[in-house]
Structure 1
Amino acid sequence: MRLIFLLVFLLNFNYVNAQLFSEEKVLNKENLDKKRWSWGYFLGFNMYDFQIKYKDQGEEIKVEKNPSFSVGLIGNFRLNDYVDLRLEPGVVFASRNLNFNFTDFGNQADSFREVQSSYIHIPLLLKFSTKRINNFKPFVIGGASISHNLSSNEDNPQDNSAGQFRLKTQNYYYEVGFGIDFYFDYFKFTPSIRGVFGMNDELVRDENPSSPWTANIESLKTRGIFINFTFQ
């Protein structure tokens, strides 16, 4: 994930540097942003985490974050020259591992839970852009989103005592980020970085109120980072 950050930064820096100091100022896709509606798609990487709050202080659950990917569509509605309303429905795959090493389980497998999630993720965002500079335009973006976790196990009658870690299916988030629009001859390319922060407690607790897996958890919320590459 750090390598991806570095590559994105270097590519953007070289392009922006060329645009700022180049004498030639031919504008690519000059009329693209003047359209009331525009469409596109995105591909991206993500790193999901859990923010866990505990009822009592003590040993904490260790969360192992794994990189994964996302893909989706973009619908963009132009409000004015500097503000756009965006809908970005997509499919997001996430992978996290939970280690409960502080509890002495009889079975070693019970100290580990693999949480694989597949989300239908739908953000509604406001994009605030600067004035276009030659063939690039920086922006900040933010808004709210809802997701449907297809692999939540919420309705599974079995819980951690049978090896099933359960999450809620419907979840809500707020998102903030930034990026740069780059205008090429035939399309607009946009790399962006965005933080995603869960607003609701996603944990479905075990039937046993003294469960070593869920009893001490006050709330469990998703947070993550998206690196998206958009084509319009």
Structure 2
Amino acid sequence: MKHILLFVLFTLFGFSASAQFLNTAGDIDHERLNFGFLLGIDRASFTVVKQRDFSQPGSNPYTADTLQAIKPMGNMGFSLGLLANVKLDRHFDLRFTPKFSFVDRQLEYQYNKASDNKILLKQVESTFLELPLLLKFKSDRMNDVRLYVVGGVKFVTDIRSKKKKANDEVYNPDDDRKLVKINNSFVALEAGLGADIYLEYFKFSPELKLSHSINNVMKTGDDNIITHPLAGLFAEALHFTMYFE
């Protein structure tokens, strides 16, 4: 999926660079403050930090089987939101891009058990409100396109209903989704690259970006067959976002 997104992004770069310098996108470069909206495709996963003895026989008191591997399984989701862009100078912009993100993440546990050598843990689906504050560095305009890099920090909070969160807190040994609990809020770093493509009445900006939580997002205090081998989980995601300004 990552290679497909890269192909689409650089194809758009090449197409835009061949255009004539005709479009002003509604004279957007002359505005100190402008607004827009965004649509995104996200691939969410975890960075897994395992206990040192996770694969040693007898290290997990909740099972007699020996754990061989823990693998994060990336899942696709989508996001939508708004954009506020402040022009600082010729090459720098400050961007605030609040959005709703709909994702879930999975972990796969592989045991040496002959009859059932895999346990698939599906994390509860999440609905996040993400509040990124980003600094954008953009190149000089080449015909109808500018390339740019962007980076910053974002605050992420789970906005699922209180009832659904309460249901997820109830321990149920028959529901693997409830054996790992994630913090309701966390902070992450973001960095990426993109292109501003000037059209007649608006500016279109495809962007590819990575995000990674600063701290461990796994809730502490719950010890069970799934969490015992884990030292921590860090939320990560690959974002392909389309901005319309």
Confirm or deny a common fold (TM above 0.5): yes
The answer to whether residue 224 in structure 2 is matched with residue 224 in structure 1 is: no
Show CA shifts across 1:6-45 (max 9, x none). Answer: 23332332222x13xxxx5324237312211100001011
Q: CA deviation at 1:82?
A: 0.8
Matches within 5 A, 1:143-222: 143-151=152-160, 153=165, 156-159=168-171, 161=173, 163=175, 164=178, 165-205=180-220, 207-208=222-223, 211-222=224-235
Moved more, 172-181 or 157-166: 157-166
Q: CA deviation at 1:143?
A: 0.3
Q: 1:178-203: CA deviations, max 9, x gaps? A: 10100000110000100101111111
**Counterpart Cα distance in 2 of 1:88 and 1:173:** 14
> 1:63 maps to which residue?
72
3-state DSSP of counterpart to 2:8: helix
| Aligned 1:19-168 pairs, distance under 5 A | 19=19, 24-29=20-25, 31-57=27-53, 58=55, 59-102=68-111, 111-115=119-123, 116-151=125-160, 153=165, 156-159=168-171, 161=173, 163=175, 164=178, 165-168=180-183
* Long gaps (5+) in structure 1: none
Aligned counterparts of 1:177 and 1:35: Cα–Cα separation in 2: 24
Q: Is the 8 A contact 1:188 1:231 kept in 2?
A: yes
- Measure, in 1, the Cα distance between the counterparts of 2:69 and 2:165: 23
Q: Which amino acid aligns with 1:10?
A: T
Counterpart in the other structure of 2:61: none
Q: TM-score, normalised to structure 2's length? A: 0.82
Contact 1:89/1:122, CA 8 A, preserved across alignment: yes
In the superposition, relative to structure 1, how do residues 207 and 140 fare at CA in structure 2: closer, same or farther (>3 Å)? closer
- Give TM-score scaled by structure 1 length: 0.86
Which structure has more relative contact order (CA 8 Å, sep 6+)? It is 2
Shift of 1:127: 0.4
Alpha-carbon spacing, 1:74–1:103, altered in 2? closer, same or farther (3 Å): farther
In structure 2, relative to structure 1, the CA distance for the partners of 1:225 and 1:207 (3 Å cut) is closer
| Residue aligned with 1:56, SS | coil
State, as a whole percentage, how many aligned pairs show the same letter. Answer: 23
Counterpart Cα distance in 2 of 1:128 and 1:25: 21
Question: 1:10: which partner in 2?
Answer: 11
| Residues in 1 aligned to 2:201 and 2:81: alpha-carbon distance in whole angstroms | 20
1:111-163, Cα deviation, whole Å (9 max, x unpaired)? 32212221101100000111112211111100000111235948954246353
**Partners in 2 of 1:166 and 1:154 — Cα distance?**
12
The answer for unaligned runs of 5 or more in structure 2 is: 56-67
